[in-house]
C-alpha cells in the first residue's frame, strides 16, 4: 500500500487528508483559509494542515505498532489558472490580487526540511483526477468532466491523463457556446454553458420567469438552486422546466464536446448535479442522443461518484 496527502484549498477552508492506494481517505483536517491574511499566511496554514495530517499518521502508526507509512507526495488543488509543472498560480478568482504566485515554493519553505515532493493543479482538474482514479472514471481512458457549481468547471482526460492544453486552460467546458446570442457569461462571452448551468444563472433564469408571471411556489428573493430543485421534486412546473432546460443546454454542450473529443464518458458533478436523474440527467441524455452522430461507440453520461471528497482524493492523486 502507498500513501499520499491531498490538500483542497478553498476560499473558506483548507482541507487535508491521507489517501491510500485503495482510495480510502483518513486523517482528515480542516483549517480556515483566512483569505484576507495574504498568501504567505495561507501557505503557512497549508503547511500546518500537512503537518497535522503527518502527525496523526505517525501517531496512528505508533499506536497500532504497524510499520511506518511512507508518504510518496503531497498534492494541492487550488482554484485558478495553475501553470502546470511550475507550482505557480497565474491568477485565481477566489484570491483577489494573486498574480503568478509561487505557492508551492512558499509552502515548501514553511515545511522546512520535510522531504516529500509537492504538486499542484487546478481544483477542477484535481476533481477530475479523483473521479478518474477512484470515482466514476475508473476503467475509462478518455473522459470529460463537468463541475456544476457557482461556475461550471470542466476537465479533459486523454489516455488516463488530465490534459492541460497549450496554456493550461484546456477543459474550460463551461465556456462551450450553447446559445450564441444568449445570456451574458461571467467570462464576457454570450451564451456559454455556464450562463445557463451555473448556480447564479439557474437562479436568475428562474427569477426572470417569476417576474414574467409564471405560476410557482418559489419566492423571488433569496432564491437558491437547492430551493428550485426541492420545488421541482414536489411538482413545481416552473422549477422542473428550469432543470429540464439546464439539462438540454448541458446536452448541447456535450454534443459539441463529443464531436470534438470523442470521449467514452462524461462525468457530471457539483452541487447542481445533485438534482439527479429525473430532474436533470434524463434531459441531458435525451438532448445529447437527439443531436449526436451515429458512430460506433456511444459516450456515457453519468453523475460523479466522489461528491465533496473528489477534491481531496484528486489532490492526493497528483503525486502519482
Measured distance CA(289)–CA(252) in Å, rounded:
10
Q: Smallest gap, in angstroms, from Cβ of residue 273 to its own copies?
A: 19
| Interface positions, 22-51, toward its own copies (CB under 8 A) | none
Q: Please state whether beta strands 13-20 and 3-9 pair in parallel, antiparallel, or not at all (unpaired).
A: antiparallel
Query: Among 144, 134, 140, which Cα is nearest to 306's?
Result: 134
If the CB atoms of residues 153 and 270 are measured against its own copies, the closer one turns out to be 153
Among 2, 190, 214, 286, binds its own copies (CB under 8 A): 190
In order of 11, 101, 140, 150, 154, the CA distances from 96 in angstroms are 10, 12, 37, 17, 22
| Interface positions, 65-124, toward its own copies (CB under 8 A) | 81, 83, 90
If the CB atoms of residues 53 and 145 are measured against its own copies, the closer one turns out to be 145
139 lies in the binding site for its own copies (CB under 8 A): no
Among 189, 207, 233, 282, binds its own copies (CB under 8 A): 189
147 burial type by CB count under 10 A (0-12 exposed, 13-18 middle, 19+ buried): buried
171 lies in the binding site for its own copies (CB under 8 A): yes
Beta bridge partners of residue 77, listed in sequence order: 8, 121
245 lies in the binding site for its own copies (CB under 8 A): no
Which residues, other chains included, contact 242 with Cβ-Cβ below 8 Å and sequence gap of 6+?
Answer: 202, 205, 206, 209, 228, 232
Q: How many CB atoms lie within 10 A of CB 113?
A: 4
Q: Smallest gap, in angstroms, from Cβ of residue 146 to its own copies?
A: 11
CB 124 within 8 A of CB 64: no
If the CB atoms of residues 138 and 260 are measured against its own copies, the closer one turns out to be 260
The 273-312 site mask, x for binding its own copies (CB under 8 A), equals -----------------xxxxxxxx-x-------------
Q: Smallest gap, in angstroms, from Cβ of residue 135 to its own copies?
A: 19
210 lies in the binding site for its own copies (CB under 8 A): no
Contact set with its own copies (CB under 8 A): 81, 83, 90, 141-142, 154, 156, 158, 163-173, 175-180, 187-190, 252-253, 255-257, 259-264, 290-297, 299
Amino acid at each position: 500500500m502507498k500513501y499520499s496527502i491531498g490538500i483542497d484549498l478553498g476560499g473558506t477552508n483548507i482541507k487535508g487528508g491521507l489517501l491510500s492506494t485503495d482510495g480510502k481517505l483518513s486523517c482528515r483536517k480542516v483549517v480556515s483559509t483566512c483569505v484576507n491574511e495574504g498568501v504567505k499566511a495561507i501557505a503557512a496554514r497549508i503547511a500546518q494542515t500537512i503537518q497535522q495530517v503527518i502527525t496523526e499518521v505517525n501517531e496512528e502508526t505508533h499506536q497500532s505498532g504497524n510499520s511506518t507509512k511512507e508518504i510518496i507526495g503531497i498534492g494541492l488543488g487550488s482554484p485558478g489558472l495553475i501553470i502546470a509543472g511550475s507550482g505557480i498560480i497565474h491568477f485565481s478568482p477566489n484570491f483577489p490580487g494573486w498574480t503568478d504566485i509561487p505557492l508551492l515554493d512558499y509552502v515548501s519553505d514553511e515545511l522546512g526540511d520535510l522531504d516529500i515532493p509537492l504538486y499542484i493543479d487546478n481544483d477542477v482538474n484535481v476533481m477530475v483526477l479523483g473521479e478518474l482514479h477512484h470515482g466514476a472514471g475508473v476503467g475509462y481512458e478518455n473522459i470529460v468532466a463537468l463541475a456544476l457549481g457557482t461556475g461550471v468547471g470542466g476537465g479533459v482526460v486523454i489516455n488516463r491523463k488530465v490534459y492541460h492544453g497549450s496554456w493550461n486552460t484546456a477543459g474550460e467546458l463551461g465556456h462551450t457556446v450553447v446559445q450564441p446570442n444568449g445570456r451574458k457569461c461571467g467570462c464576457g462571452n454570450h451564451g456559454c454553458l455556464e450562463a445557463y448551468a451555473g448556480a447564479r444563472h439557474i437562479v436568475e433564469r428562474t427569477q426572470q420567469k417569476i417576474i414574467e408571471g409564471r405560476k410557482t411556489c418559489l419566492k423571488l428573493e433569496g432564491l437558491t438552486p437547492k430551493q428550485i430543485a426541492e420545488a421541482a421534486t414536489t411538482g413545481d412546473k416552473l422549477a422542473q422546466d428550469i432543470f429540464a432546460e439546464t439539462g438540454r443546454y448541458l446536452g448541447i454542450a456535450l454534443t459539441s464536446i463529443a464531436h470534438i473529443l470523442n470521449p467514452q464518458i462524461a462525468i457530471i458533478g457539483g452541487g447542481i448535479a445533485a438534482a439527479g436523474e429525473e430532474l436533470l440527467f434524463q434531459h441531458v441524455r435525451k438532448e445529447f442522443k437527439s443531436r449526436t452522430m451515429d458512430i460506433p461507440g456511444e459516450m456515457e453520461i453519468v453523475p460523479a461518484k466522489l461528491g465533496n471528497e473528489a477534491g481531496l482524493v484528486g489532490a492526493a492523486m497528483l503525486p502519482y
